[in-house]
Amino acid sequence: MPPSVKVDVMRFLLLAFFLAVLAPPVLPAWSAPTAAGGETAGASLDSLHKRFDALRQDAKRGALRDNWLRLIEDLNRLSAQSRGNAKARTSFLAARAQEELSHRSFNAQDRIRAIDAYAAVAKNFPKHDLAPSSLYRQAYLLGAILGRTEKAAAVLAALQKNYPRSLAAKDGRALQARLSAGAEPAATRPPAAAARPPAAAAPGQGASSGRKSPVPRNRNGEPAPEDIMEQLGLTVRTIMLDPGHGGKDPGCTANKLVEADFTLDMARRIGPLLTKKGFTVLYTRTDNRFLSLPDRTEMANKKKVDLFISIHLNANPSSAVHGLETYYLNEAKTNEAAKVASRENGVSVRNISDLQFILTDVMLSAKLEESRALAQCVHKAILDSLRAGRWTASDNGVRSAPFHVLMGARMPAILLEFGYASNAREAQNLRTGAFLQRQAEGVAQGIAAYKEQLAKIAR
């Protein structure tokens, strides 16, 4: 054997010896080393949290049941090996993963498993910061999803008793108000505030303070409705109007109507009417410029508006279709609603099914039930206003669909389709100022009616 070959062989044997004997063993992702105090090192839990976030953000992978089951199994395995804070955090994330699965499967057993998982976190870790959030999510699934309002009320009572100053307790009071008002069960998830673990209390506030914040009261010594509404996150002061399309995206064009121009005209009519009613009005655009769909709700979120109203004009391959439609964010219940969403989203109807799977993620921040109530108030008021002016419009109803422009909104949000440009007779109305003004007045009246409806809940 040549000397150079012998040297290579020796090097190979030394490398093999190092890898086999001296190098540390490779641990599986879930088998994280234990840190001081018995807590599992954060890297493994972080990696599982990244898997959780990735599944939530990937419509196709998140739609597969096996992906969630594997994640839940890995989280439960890690939880069994952990102690203290790490065990609580891992158990809570496992409950969240189970809840995510239940929102995609619409399976009652999956929802019950999520409820049980949250109950176990609250029971096993009563002093942990995640205990209040676990109780809130348990109550939300029981009341808002399954309609078991009595059981939800019992859990919310425990939340108020044991963690009265937590952020989850505040959300719990708002949830109890909605359930007491007879809100229907809906296949959605808790609002954004409830999804976050409780934040540390600021000095002089929360659990660290023995003083209660004074509650403003009216002349009778009772809490003023406006103040209660603010505490429940139900105030309506600032409204953002979103004229759809614009710039390089003209929207639908038919019968001498261009959607981008029409929506801007309607926004300019609605805005002053809302201002006269005391609302502050903001706009996503005031000229013919292009804005992406996500940019529109992001503007609303940054301005922290109370309502988001997206304005549109409809079209259909059949020139016979006509009428008013009002939408809120949820799954499309009909083929017609899916077709409207596909046109406004700029995707095929086939891709709408993919959007359905990620709806529950964006509904963390979207208030579905409030959006539906807003849609009903505005839709009815538009029709009433038209009838009062002796105009007619076909009532196509309040519908739900997965509109991109509504996704991510952290406030009640609706999308108005004021009529069909593709229908010659309706297009003629939609080019008439008096008809448009009646519709605009209906929008303003509907928003005012929605605000009054919220005030009744607070009284």
Nearest Cα neighbor of 182 from 138, 215, 131, 144 is 144
Q: Whole-model pTM?
A: 0.51
User: How far, rounded to the nearest angstrom, does the alpha carbon of residue 319 sit from its chain's CA centroid?
Assistant: 35
What Cα–Cα distance (Å) separates residue 91 from each residue in 114, 116, 190? 11, 11, 19
Taking the CA atoms of residue 255, residue 260, residue 263 and residue 269 in that order, the dihedral angle to the nearest 10 degrees is: -100
| Model confidence pLDDT, tens digit, residues 70-81 | 999 999 999 999
Mean pLDDT of 325-335: 73
| Model confidence pLDDT, tens digit, residues 97-155 | 999 988 877 677 888 999 999 999 999 999 999 999 999 999 999 988 888 889 999 99
Residues forming beta bridges with residue 239, ordered by sequence position: 281, 307
Helical pair 130-140 and 149-162, crossing angle rounded to 10 deg: 160
Domain 231-458, what fold?
Aminopeptidase (3.40.630)
pLDDT > 50? residue 435: yes
Q: What was the pLDDT predicted at 270?
A: 98
% of the chain exceeding 70 in pLDDT: 70
CB 35, CB 58: distance < 8 Å = no
| Model confidence pLDDT, tens digit, residues 359-393 | 444 443 346 778 889 999 999 999 999 999 999 89
Q: Rounded to 5 degrees, what angle do the CA atoms 154, 171, 363 make?
A: 110
pLDDT > 70? residue 179: yes
pLDDT > 60? residue 303: yes
What one-letter code names the amino acid at 90? T
CB 313, CB 302: distance < 8 Å = no
Parse the chain into domains and list their residue ranges: 39-190, 231-458
Domain 39-190, what fold?
1.25.40
Q: What was the pLDDT predicted at 370?
A: 85
Task: Tell me how far apart the alpha carbons of residues 128 and 153 are, in angstroms, rounded to a whole number.
Answer: 22
φ, ψ at 86 (rounded to 5°): -65, -40
